[in-house]
Chains A and B, each alone.
Chain A
């Protein structure tokens, strides 16, 4: 990986050593999602895993969206 950026690398990678996000894969309404749990029943979408390109246009499946995890 090569970063080509105007920002100094120290600034970008600051805290990289301590940064260990815990992600979980869940299935919600038939969609496979990678989420970062933020409380016991809620999570923030990190990534959507789908082979249908139109799913990536769905506003409720955008990364950063907070969703209920429990079905």
Chain B
């Protein structure tokens, strides 16, 4: 039996309105938006600011098991190069909500953000722990949300260096790389940062400090407490572009 719809005699075919012109590629991307983000239309707006979000673990030389949400440094690094190179991009906003990750990958991103000639602003939301700290301070201006936290703790005795368990001296050297970078690019002194890193009594089974919002500003690690509005405003000031709409009234 035919499954095709047969026109019944006497029924006048009603002219269907033409289907909305959606090309297959667009349809595909809409479908993916629903699957990935739960919404159909992701608003598209030409912006002269580029936003990079550093979330979850910063994945380095090892592909982490799938339960980890990761930021892939091999993708972020060329994006930063593109930001530097593209004349249409005037500034970079780095949004951080990271639990840390690979030292080398994190420092690589931090160094690139620091050395970009365009204005950069970092915004710490939720958390910017461990290796997230150098990334946050690498930007020209750093902002932390008042509820966001930053954990400063020593590099633990984990990981291998090219297959060989490292010595304490090696870890100390790695730690110095992080400390030097942070102290060079923020107002916190080395003594103070080391003191925070090795403080006892704050974390239950570990040494270190948790800085919440304004604590990070008070010790000079982060420049100000704020949110997205402040971040965009600062970035616009730094880029010298007129502040239009939104935050100004």
- Nearest Cβ in chain A — how far from B176, in angstroms? 13
Which chain B residue lies CB-closest to A65? B32
The residue that A6 contacts in the complex, of B50, B79, B153, B178, with Cβ under 8 A, is B153
Q: Which of A7, A16, A55, A62 contacts B57 (CB 8 A)?
A: A7
Provide the bound-state CA to CA distance between A1 and B57, in Å.
14
Would you give the shortest CB distance from B103 to chain A, in whole angstroms? 5
Residues of A near B104 (CB, < 8 A) are: 1-2
Q: Mark B81-101, 1 if CB is under 8 A from A, else 0.
A: 110011000000000000111
Known: A1-B104, A1-B159, A9-B158. A15 touches B129 (CB 8 A): no
Q: How would you classify the secondary structure of chain B's contact residues: helix, strand, loop or mixed?
A: mixed
Least Cβ distance of B92 to chain A in Å? 12
Contacts of A60 in B (CB 8 A): 29
Pick the most buried of B50, B104, B158: most chain A CB atoms within 10 A of its CB. Answer: B158
Chain B positions near chain A (C-beta within 8 angstroms): 29, 32, 36, 50, 57, 60-68, 72, 74-75, 78-79, 81-82, 85-86, 99-104, 106, 127, 129-131, 151, 153, 155-156, 158-161, 166, 171, 174, 178
Q: List the A side residues contacting B161 at CB < 8 Å.
A: 1-2
CA distance A3 to B81 in the complex (A): 25
Bound form: Cα–Cα A2–B64 in Å: 13
The CA-CA distance from A28 to B68 in the complex, in Å, is 28
Q: List 7 A-B contacts (CB under 8 A).
A: A2-B103, A4-B106, A4-B155, A5-B99, A19-B63, A54-B82, A62-B75
Q: Which of A4, A50, A57 contacts B100 (CB 8 A)?
A: A4
- State A63–B75 Cα separation when bound (angstroms): 8
Q: How far is the CA of A44 from the CA of B66 in the complex (A)?
A: 13
Q: Is the CB of B62 within 8 A of A1?
A: yes
Question: Which residues of the other chain, A, contact B100 by a CB distance below 8 angstroms?
Answer: 3-7
A15-B65, A56-B82 known; A48 vs B75 contact (CB < 8 Å): yes
B129 touches A2 (CB 8 A): no
- A 1-37 to B, binary, CB cutoff 8 A, 1 in contact else 0: 1111111010011111001010000000000000000
* Chain B: minimal CB distance from A12 (Å): 6
CB distance from B66 to the nearest CB of A (A): 7
CA distance A53 to B101 in the complex (A): 24
* A47 CB contacts on chain B under 8 angstroms: 72, 74-75
Q: Are B72 and A6 in contact (CB under 8 A)?
A: no
Q: How far is the CB of A63 from chain B (nearest CB, A)?
A: 6
A69 interface residue (CB < 8 Å to B): no
Task: Find out whether the CB atom of A2 lies under 8 angstroms from the CB atom of B79.
Answer: no
Contact A5 B60 (CB under 8 A): no
The residue that B131 contacts in the complex, of A4, A9, A48, with Cβ under 8 A, is A4
